[in-house]
Amino acid sequence: MTRRRTVLIGTGAIAESHISAAQAEAERIDLVAAMDIQPERAAAFCQRHAIPRAYHDVTEMLRVEQPELVFIASPPAVHAEQCRAALEVGAWVWCEKPLCQSLAEFDTLTAVEARTGRYISTIYQRRFSSGARHLRQLLQAGALGQPRLALCQTTWYRDAAYYQVPWRGRWETETGGATVTLGIHMIDLLLYLMGDWREARSMMTRLDRDIEVENILCAILAFENGALASVVNSALSPREQTYLRLDCQRATVELNYLYDYRNADWRYTPLAGVSSDEAASWSAVSEEIPPSHAAQLRHVLDAYDRGEHPPASGADGRQALECVTALYKAAITGQPVLRGSIQPGDPFYDRLNGGMYT
Ligand SMILES: NC(=O)c1ccc[n+]([C@@H]2O[C@H](COP(=O)([O-])OP(=O)(O)OC[C@H]3O[C@@H](n4cnc5c(N)ncnc54)[C@H](O)[C@@H]3O)[C@@H](O)[C@H]2O)c1
Protein backbone atom coordinates (compact mmCIF):
# COMPACT_ATOMS: atom_id res chain seq x y z
CA MET A 1 0.00 0.00 0.00
CA THR A 2 1.35 3.48 -0.92
CA ARG A 3 2.20 5.67 2.08
CA ARG A 4 1.63 9.30 1.08
CA ARG A 5 4.31 11.70 2.26
CA THR A 6 2.19 14.19 4.22
CA VAL A 7 2.67 17.50 6.05
CA LEU A 8 0.28 19.45 8.30
CA ILE A 9 -0.19 23.24 8.33
CA GLY A 10 -1.57 24.70 11.57
CA THR A 11 -1.23 22.88 14.90
CA GLY A 12 -4.14 24.35 16.91
CA ALA A 13 -7.33 22.77 18.24
CA ILE A 14 -8.64 20.93 15.16
CA ALA A 15 -5.18 19.63 14.22
CA GLU A 16 -5.74 16.90 16.84
CA SER A 17 -8.51 15.48 14.61
CA HIS A 18 -6.05 15.41 11.71
CA ILE A 19 -3.72 13.32 13.85
CA SER A 20 -6.53 10.86 14.69
CA ALA A 21 -7.33 10.57 11.00
CA ALA A 22 -3.66 10.05 10.08
CA GLN A 23 -3.39 7.35 12.74
CA ALA A 24 -6.51 5.61 11.43
CA GLU A 25 -4.87 5.60 7.98
CA ALA A 26 -1.34 4.82 9.17
CA GLU A 27 -0.81 2.37 6.30
CA ARG A 28 -1.43 5.15 3.76
CA ILE A 29 -0.23 8.31 5.56
CA ASP A 30 3.37 9.13 6.48
CA LEU A 31 3.17 12.38 8.47
CA VAL A 32 6.71 13.74 8.17
CA ALA A 33 6.34 17.36 9.33
CA ALA A 34 4.03 19.97 10.85
CA MET A 35 4.13 23.75 10.70
CA ASP A 36 2.66 26.62 12.72
CA ILE A 37 3.50 30.33 12.74
CA GLN A 38 4.01 29.88 16.48
CA PRO A 39 7.28 27.85 16.46
CA GLU A 40 6.95 26.64 20.05
CA ARG A 41 3.44 25.37 19.32
CA ALA A 42 4.63 23.46 16.25
CA ALA A 43 7.58 22.00 18.18
CA ALA A 44 5.41 20.86 21.09
CA PHE A 45 2.85 19.38 18.70
CA CYS A 46 5.51 17.44 16.79
CA GLN A 47 7.02 16.14 19.99
CA ARG A 48 3.61 15.10 21.36
CA HIS A 49 2.73 13.17 18.20
CA ALA A 50 6.20 11.88 17.25
CA ILE A 51 6.26 13.86 13.99
CA PRO A 52 9.89 14.05 12.77
CA ARG A 53 10.20 17.74 11.82
CA ALA A 54 8.61 21.06 12.91
CA TYR A 55 8.56 24.27 10.84
CA HIS A 56 7.32 27.83 11.23
CA ASP A 57 7.47 28.75 7.53
CA VAL A 58 5.12 27.13 4.97
CA THR A 59 7.28 27.82 1.91
CA GLU A 60 10.32 26.27 3.52
CA MET A 61 8.39 23.19 4.68
CA LEU A 62 6.90 22.59 1.22
CA ARG A 63 10.28 23.12 -0.48
CA VAL A 64 12.22 20.81 1.83
CA GLU A 65 9.61 18.11 2.35
CA GLN A 66 8.11 17.96 -1.19
CA PRO A 67 4.89 16.38 0.17
CA GLU A 68 2.37 14.37 -1.83
CA LEU A 69 -0.46 15.43 0.48
CA VAL A 70 -0.95 18.54 2.61
CA PHE A 71 -3.40 18.77 5.52
CA ILE A 72 -4.47 22.38 6.27
CA ALA A 73 -5.78 23.31 9.73
CA SER A 74 -4.82 26.99 9.87
CA PRO A 75 -7.28 29.93 10.18
CA PRO A 76 -9.60 30.49 7.18
CA ALA A 77 -8.02 33.66 5.75
CA VAL A 78 -4.78 31.87 4.84
CA HIS A 79 -6.32 28.66 3.41
CA ALA A 80 -6.43 29.84 -0.21
CA GLU A 81 -2.78 30.90 -0.46
CA GLN A 82 -1.65 27.75 1.36
CA CYS A 83 -3.80 25.51 -0.87
CA ARG A 84 -2.30 27.17 -3.91
CA ALA A 85 1.27 26.77 -2.63
CA ALA A 86 0.63 23.08 -1.92
CA LEU A 87 -0.85 22.43 -5.38
CA GLU A 88 2.13 24.20 -6.96
CA VAL A 89 4.61 21.74 -5.37
CA GLY A 90 2.55 18.87 -6.74
CA ALA A 91 0.61 17.91 -3.62
CA TRP A 92 -3.03 17.06 -3.11
CA VAL A 93 -4.75 19.07 -0.36
CA TRP A 94 -7.19 18.22 2.40
CA CYS A 95 -8.25 21.54 3.93
CA GLU A 96 -10.50 22.68 6.75
CA LYS A 97 -13.71 24.53 6.07
CA PRO A 98 -14.27 27.19 4.96
CA LEU A 99 -11.92 26.37 2.10
CA CYS A 100 -11.46 30.02 1.26
CA GLN A 101 -12.97 33.46 1.71
CA SER A 102 -15.10 33.77 -1.43
CA LEU A 103 -16.37 32.12 -4.58
CA ALA A 104 -13.75 34.16 -6.45
CA GLU A 105 -10.97 32.49 -4.44
CA PHE A 106 -12.62 29.10 -4.93
CA ASP A 107 -12.74 29.52 -8.70
CA THR A 108 -9.11 30.67 -8.80
CA LEU A 109 -8.10 27.53 -6.94
CA THR A 110 -10.14 25.43 -9.38
CA ALA A 111 -8.04 26.89 -12.20
CA VAL A 112 -4.84 25.98 -10.34
CA GLU A 113 -6.18 22.43 -9.84
CA ALA A 114 -6.83 22.15 -13.58
CA ARG A 115 -3.30 23.35 -14.39
CA THR A 116 -1.48 21.19 -11.83
CA GLY A 117 -3.67 18.09 -12.07
CA ARG A 118 -3.86 18.01 -8.26
CA TYR A 119 -7.05 18.30 -6.19
CA ILE A 120 -8.35 19.95 -3.01
CA SER A 121 -10.99 18.33 -0.80
CA THR A 122 -12.75 20.51 1.79
CA ILE A 123 -13.25 18.91 5.20
CA TYR A 124 -17.00 18.32 5.57
CA GLN A 125 -16.80 15.21 7.74
CA ARG A 126 -20.50 15.13 8.69
CA ARG A 127 -21.54 13.66 5.35
CA PHE A 128 -19.03 10.78 5.49
CA SER A 129 -20.65 8.89 8.36
CA SER A 130 -22.22 5.52 7.62
CA GLY A 131 -25.63 6.89 8.64
CA ALA A 132 -25.49 9.85 6.24
CA ARG A 133 -24.26 7.75 3.33
CA HIS A 134 -26.96 5.15 4.01
CA LEU A 135 -29.70 7.80 4.05
CA ARG A 136 -28.45 9.24 0.76
CA GLN A 137 -28.65 5.78 -0.82
CA LEU A 138 -32.24 5.38 0.43
CA LEU A 139 -33.18 8.78 -0.98
CA GLN A 140 -31.52 8.12 -4.33
CA ALA A 141 -33.26 4.74 -4.59
CA GLY A 142 -36.60 6.44 -3.91
CA ALA A 143 -37.29 4.23 -0.87
CA LEU A 144 -38.52 7.15 1.25
CA GLY A 145 -40.27 9.02 -1.55
CA GLN A 146 -39.41 12.62 -2.35
CA PRO A 147 -38.20 14.95 0.43
CA ARG A 148 -40.77 17.72 0.89
CA LEU A 149 -39.61 19.71 3.95
CA ALA A 150 -36.29 19.94 5.80
CA LEU A 151 -35.23 21.56 9.07
CA CYS A 152 -31.48 22.19 9.36
CA GLN A 153 -30.47 23.60 12.69
CA THR A 154 -27.04 24.38 14.18
CA THR A 155 -27.90 26.08 17.46
CA TRP A 156 -24.72 26.27 19.51
CA TYR A 157 -23.28 28.60 22.17
CA ARG A 158 -20.06 30.57 21.84
CA ASP A 159 -19.14 32.81 24.79
CA ALA A 160 -17.02 35.96 24.74
CA ALA A 161 -13.84 33.97 25.48
CA TYR A 162 -14.30 32.03 22.21
CA TYR A 163 -13.89 35.31 20.32
CA GLN A 164 -10.64 36.17 22.15
CA VAL A 165 -8.77 34.06 19.57
CA PRO A 166 -7.50 36.88 17.33
CA TRP A 167 -8.84 35.54 14.00
CA ARG A 168 -12.39 34.97 15.21
CA GLY A 169 -15.30 37.39 14.96
CA ARG A 170 -14.06 39.45 12.00
CA TRP A 171 -15.03 39.16 8.31
CA GLU A 172 -11.44 39.67 7.19
CA THR A 173 -10.05 36.74 9.16
CA GLU A 174 -12.93 34.36 10.03
CA THR A 175 -14.76 35.13 6.72
CA GLY A 176 -18.15 35.14 8.51
CA GLY A 177 -19.88 34.00 11.70
CA ALA A 178 -22.29 31.29 12.84
CA THR A 179 -23.25 30.39 9.27
CA VAL A 180 -19.88 29.83 7.60
CA THR A 181 -17.99 28.71 10.71
CA LEU A 182 -20.58 26.58 12.54
CA GLY A 183 -23.58 25.90 10.30
CA ILE A 184 -21.69 25.09 7.09
CA HIS A 185 -21.29 21.43 8.07
CA MET A 186 -25.04 20.88 8.35
CA ILE A 187 -25.67 22.96 5.23
CA ASP A 188 -23.25 20.70 3.36
CA LEU A 189 -25.05 17.62 4.74
CA LEU A 190 -28.45 19.09 3.80
CA LEU A 191 -27.33 19.69 0.20
CA TYR A 192 -25.67 16.26 0.04
CA LEU A 193 -29.02 14.69 0.90
CA MET A 194 -31.50 17.04 -0.80
CA GLY A 195 -29.71 17.89 -4.05
CA ASP A 196 -29.77 21.25 -5.81
CA TRP A 197 -31.34 24.28 -4.15
CA ARG A 198 -32.93 26.99 -6.30
CA GLU A 199 -33.56 30.11 -4.18
CA ALA A 200 -32.45 31.49 -0.80
CA ARG A 201 -34.06 34.06 1.50
CA SER A 202 -32.69 34.98 4.93
CA MET A 203 -32.21 37.42 7.82
CA MET A 204 -29.31 37.72 10.24
CA THR A 205 -28.17 39.63 13.30
CA ARG A 206 -25.27 39.95 15.74
CA LEU A 207 -26.06 40.30 19.44
CA ASP A 208 -24.36 40.18 22.88
CA ARG A 209 -20.75 39.89 21.58
CA ASP A 210 -18.18 42.45 20.47
CA ILE A 211 -17.83 41.01 16.94
CA GLU A 212 -18.35 42.08 13.31
CA VAL A 213 -19.88 38.84 12.03
CA GLU A 214 -23.39 37.46 12.51
CA ASN A 215 -24.13 35.10 15.38
CA ILE A 216 -27.70 34.30 14.31
CA LEU A 217 -29.01 33.66 10.79
CA CYS A 218 -32.45 32.27 9.87
CA ALA A 219 -33.11 31.29 6.27
CA ILE A 220 -35.44 29.51 3.89
CA LEU A 221 -34.08 27.49 0.97
CA ALA A 222 -36.26 26.36 -1.92
CA PHE A 223 -35.05 23.27 -3.78
CA GLU A 224 -35.31 22.35 -7.46
CA ASN A 225 -37.74 19.53 -6.60
CA GLY A 226 -40.10 22.02 -4.92
CA ALA A 227 -39.15 21.15 -1.33
CA LEU A 228 -38.49 23.88 1.25
CA ALA A 229 -35.92 23.92 4.05
CA SER A 230 -35.60 26.07 7.14
CA VAL A 231 -31.94 26.73 8.01
CA VAL A 232 -31.08 28.18 11.44
CA ASN A 233 -27.52 28.94 12.57
CA SER A 234 -26.86 30.33 16.03
CA ALA A 235 -23.93 30.89 18.39
CA LEU A 236 -26.23 32.15 21.18
CA SER A 237 -28.24 29.06 22.15
CA PRO A 238 -27.75 27.92 25.79
CA ARG A 239 -29.23 24.46 25.11
CA GLU A 240 -27.00 23.46 22.26
CA GLN A 241 -28.36 21.18 19.58
CA THR A 242 -27.61 20.08 16.03
CA TYR A 243 -30.78 18.89 14.34
CA LEU A 244 -31.71 17.73 10.86
CA ARG A 245 -35.18 16.64 9.85
CA LEU A 246 -36.32 15.50 6.42
CA ASP A 247 -40.04 14.99 5.89
CA CYS A 248 -40.26 12.71 2.87
CA GLN A 249 -43.38 11.27 1.22
CA ARG A 250 -43.04 7.93 3.06
CA ALA A 251 -41.13 8.82 6.24
CA THR A 252 -39.75 11.48 8.53
CA VAL A 253 -36.01 11.14 9.15
CA GLU A 254 -34.37 12.95 12.07
CA LEU A 255 -30.83 13.35 13.39
CA ASN A 256 -30.47 14.96 16.80
CA TYR A 257 -26.99 15.42 18.31
CA LEU A 258 -24.35 17.99 19.19
CA TYR A 259 -20.93 17.28 17.63
CA ASP A 260 -20.79 13.53 17.13
CA TYR A 261 -23.36 10.90 16.31
CA ARG A 262 -23.82 7.19 15.64
CA ASN A 263 -26.10 5.21 13.32
CA ALA A 264 -28.62 4.83 16.16
CA ASP A 265 -29.04 8.63 16.34
CA TRP A 266 -30.85 8.61 12.97
CA ARG A 267 -34.55 8.12 13.66
CA TYR A 268 -36.89 6.91 10.90
CA THR A 269 -40.65 7.36 11.46
CA PRO A 270 -42.62 5.64 8.68
CA LEU A 271 -45.85 6.91 7.21
CA ALA A 272 -48.85 4.88 8.38
CA GLY A 273 -49.22 1.86 6.10
CA VAL A 274 -45.49 1.25 5.53
CA SER A 275 -44.72 -2.30 6.69
CA SER A 276 -42.69 -2.66 9.87
CA ASP A 277 -40.19 -4.89 8.02
CA GLU A 278 -39.54 -2.21 5.45
CA ALA A 279 -39.27 0.50 8.10
CA ALA A 280 -36.83 -1.66 10.09
CA SER A 281 -34.69 -2.10 6.97
CA TRP A 282 -34.20 1.67 6.72
CA SER A 283 -32.45 1.74 10.09
CA ALA A 284 -30.29 -1.31 9.38
CA VAL A 285 -26.82 0.02 8.52
CA SER A 286 -24.12 -2.62 8.20
CA GLU A 287 -21.11 -0.59 9.37
CA GLU A 288 -20.69 1.99 12.17
CA ILE A 289 -18.63 4.95 10.92
CA PRO A 290 -18.97 8.16 12.94
CA PRO A 291 -18.69 11.56 11.20
CA SER A 292 -14.99 11.95 11.97
CA HIS A 293 -12.08 13.35 10.00
CA ALA A 294 -10.94 9.74 9.55
CA ALA A 295 -14.24 8.91 7.83
CA GLN A 296 -13.54 11.50 5.11
CA LEU A 297 -9.79 10.92 4.78
CA ARG A 298 -10.44 7.31 3.80
CA HIS A 299 -12.40 8.46 0.73
CA VAL A 300 -9.86 11.14 -0.17
CA LEU A 301 -7.07 8.54 -0.17
CA ASP A 302 -9.16 6.09 -2.21
CA ALA A 303 -9.67 8.82 -4.81
CA TYR A 304 -5.96 9.68 -4.73
CA ASP A 305 -5.07 6.03 -5.37
CA ARG A 306 -7.43 6.01 -8.37
CA GLY A 307 -6.30 9.49 -9.56
CA GLU A 308 -9.90 10.76 -9.46
CA HIS A 309 -11.50 13.95 -8.14
CA PRO A 310 -11.95 13.34 -4.38
CA PRO A 311 -15.36 13.90 -2.74
CA ALA A 312 -15.99 17.48 -1.53
CA SER A 313 -13.77 18.86 -4.29
CA GLY A 314 -14.67 20.83 -7.40
CA ALA A 315 -18.42 21.44 -7.83
CA ASP A 316 -19.12 19.05 -4.95
CA GLY A 317 -16.97 21.16 -2.64
CA ARG A 318 -18.26 24.49 -3.99
CA GLN A 319 -21.97 23.99 -3.39
CA ALA A 320 -22.00 24.64 0.39
CA LEU A 321 -19.83 27.75 -0.05
CA GLU A 322 -22.13 29.04 -2.78
CA CYS A 323 -25.18 28.39 -0.62
CA VAL A 324 -23.61 30.16 2.40
CA THR A 325 -22.67 33.10 0.18
CA ALA A 326 -26.28 33.29 -1.04
CA LEU A 327 -27.61 33.20 2.55
CA TYR A 328 -25.38 36.17 3.41
CA LYS A 329 -26.32 38.06 0.26
CA ALA A 330 -30.04 37.47 0.84
CA ALA A 331 -29.76 38.60 4.48
CA ILE A 332 -27.69 41.71 3.70
CA THR A 333 -29.62 42.88 0.63
CA GLY A 334 -33.08 41.72 1.77
CA GLN A 335 -33.58 40.17 -1.69
CA PRO A 336 -34.05 36.53 -2.75
CA VAL A 337 -30.92 35.00 -4.32
CA LEU A 338 -30.99 32.33 -7.04
CA ARG A 339 -28.40 29.56 -7.22
CA GLY A 340 -25.81 30.37 -9.88
CA SER A 341 -26.58 34.10 -9.84
CA ILE A 342 -23.49 35.22 -7.85
CA GLN A 343 -20.99 35.74 -10.63
CA PRO A 344 -17.85 37.88 -11.24
CA GLY A 345 -18.77 41.55 -10.93
CA ASP A 346 -21.13 40.87 -8.00
CA PRO A 347 -19.54 42.17 -4.75
CA PHE A 348 -20.69 38.97 -3.01
CA TYR A 349 -18.57 36.95 -5.48
CA ASP A 350 -15.47 38.58 -3.95
CA ARG A 351 -16.46 38.65 -0.27
CA LEU A 352 -19.06 36.76 1.75
CA ASN A 353 -20.44 40.03 3.13
CA GLY A 354 -20.14 41.84 -0.20
CA GLY A 355 -18.19 44.50 1.72
CA MET A 356 -21.56 45.74 3.02
CA TYR A 357 -21.92 44.38 6.57
CA THR A 358 -19.02 45.41 8.80
N1 LIG B 1 -13.95 20.34 10.63
C2 LIG B 1 -14.34 20.76 11.83
O3 LIG B 1 -15.20 20.18 12.48
C4 LIG B 1 -13.68 21.97 12.41
C5 LIG B 1 -13.79 22.23 13.79
C6 LIG B 1 -13.13 23.35 14.30
C7 LIG B 1 -12.41 24.19 13.46
N8 LIG B 1 -12.37 23.93 12.12
C9 LIG B 1 -11.65 24.81 11.20
O10 LIG B 1 -10.25 24.56 11.35
C11 LIG B 1 -9.51 25.77 11.18
C12 LIG B 1 -8.65 26.03 12.41
O13 LIG B 1 -9.49 26.11 13.54
P14 LIG B 1 -8.94 25.83 15.03
O15 LIG B 1 -10.14 25.82 15.88
O16 LIG B 1 -8.01 24.68 15.05
O17 LIG B 1 -8.12 27.19 15.27
P18 LIG B 1 -6.92 27.45 16.31
O19 LIG B 1 -6.84 28.92 16.47
O20 LIG B 1 -7.07 26.57 17.51
O21 LIG B 1 -5.64 26.89 15.51
C22 LIG B 1 -5.13 27.54 14.36
C23 LIG B 1 -3.64 27.35 14.37
O24 LIG B 1 -3.13 27.89 13.15
C25 LIG B 1 -1.96 28.66 13.47
N26 LIG B 1 -1.77 29.65 12.40
C27 LIG B 1 -2.20 30.94 12.34
N28 LIG B 1 -1.82 31.50 11.17
C29 LIG B 1 -1.15 30.53 10.49
C30 LIG B 1 -0.51 30.50 9.24
N31 LIG B 1 -0.46 31.57 8.43
N32 LIG B 1 0.10 29.34 8.87
C33 LIG B 1 0.08 28.25 9.68
N34 LIG B 1 -0.51 28.23 10.89
C35 LIG B 1 -1.11 29.36 11.28
C36 LIG B 1 -2.22 29.26 14.82
O37 LIG B 1 -1.02 29.64 15.44
C38 LIG B 1 -2.93 28.10 15.51
O39 LIG B 1 -2.02 27.22 16.13
C40 LIG B 1 -10.55 26.85 10.88
O41 LIG B 1 -10.71 26.98 9.48
C42 LIG B 1 -11.82 26.29 11.49
O43 LIG B 1 -13.01 26.78 10.87
C44 LIG B 1 -12.97 22.83 11.60
Tell whether 300 is covered by a domain: no
Averaged pLDDT for residues 305-315: 97
201 and 54 share a domain?
A: no
| pLDDT tens, residue by residue, 92-121 | 999 999 999 999 999 999 999 999 999 999
159 and 242 share a domain?
A: yes
Q: What is the CATH number of the domain that holds 170?
A: 3.30.360.10
173 and 49 share a domain?
A: no
How far does the centroid of ligand 1 lie from the alpha carbon of residue 274, in Å? 47
Domain that holds residue 72: 4-125
Residue nearest to atom 40 of ligand 1 (CA): 75
How far does the centroid of ligand 1 lie from the alpha carbon of residue 141, in Å? 38
> Among residues of the chain, what percentage have pLDDT more than 90?
99
Q: What is the CATH number of the domain that holds 47?
A: 3.40.50.720
Q: Above 90 in pLDDT, residue 2?
A: no
118 and 134 share a domain?
A: no
Tell whether 343 is covered by a domain: no
Q: Could you tell which of 55, 74, 180, 257 is best to mutate to test the pocket of ligand 1, judged by most ligand atoms within 8 Å of the CB?
A: 74
Tell whether 268 is covered by a domain: yes
Q: Is 9 in the pocket of ligand 1 (CB under 6 A)?
A: yes
Averaged pLDDT for residues 122-130: 98
Tell whether 149 is covered by a domain: yes
- Band (pLDDT 50/70/90 cuts) for residue 358 is confident
139 and 238 share a domain?
A: yes
157 and 253 share a domain?
A: yes
How far does the centroid of ligand 1 lie from the alpha carbon of residue 30, in Å? 21
210 and 164 share a domain?
A: yes
| pLDDT tens, residue by residue, 320-352 | 999 999 999 999 999 999 999 999 999 999 999
Q: Is 291 in the pocket of ligand 1 (CB under 6 A)?
A: no
- pLDDT recorded at residue 69: 98
Tell whether 348 is covered by a domain: no
Tell whether 170 is covered by a domain: yes
Q: Is 59 in the pocket of ligand 1 (CB under 6 A)?
A: no
> Among residues of the chain, what percentage have pLDDT more than 70?
100
Of 99, 125, 151, the domain-final residue: 125
- pLDDT recorded at residue 170: 97
96 and 143 share a domain?
A: no
29 and 118 share a domain?
A: yes
15 and 97 share a domain?
A: yes
70 and 100 share a domain?
A: yes
Which among 218, 262, 210 has a CA at the least distance from the CA of 237?
Answer: 218
- pLDDT recorded at residue 357: 86
Number of domains in the chain: 2
149 and 168 share a domain?
A: yes
Tell whether 35 is covered by a domain: yes
Q: Is 23 in the pocket of ligand 1 (CB under 6 A)?
A: no
Tell whether 308 is covered by a domain: no
Amino acid at 230: S
Q: Is 101 in the pocket of ligand 1 (CB under 6 A)?
A: no
Of 293, 310, 331, the domain-final residue: 293
Cβ–Cβ < 8 Å for 351, 101: yes
- Band (pLDDT 50/70/90 cuts) for residue 294 is very high
Of 89, 108, 125, the domain-final residue: 125
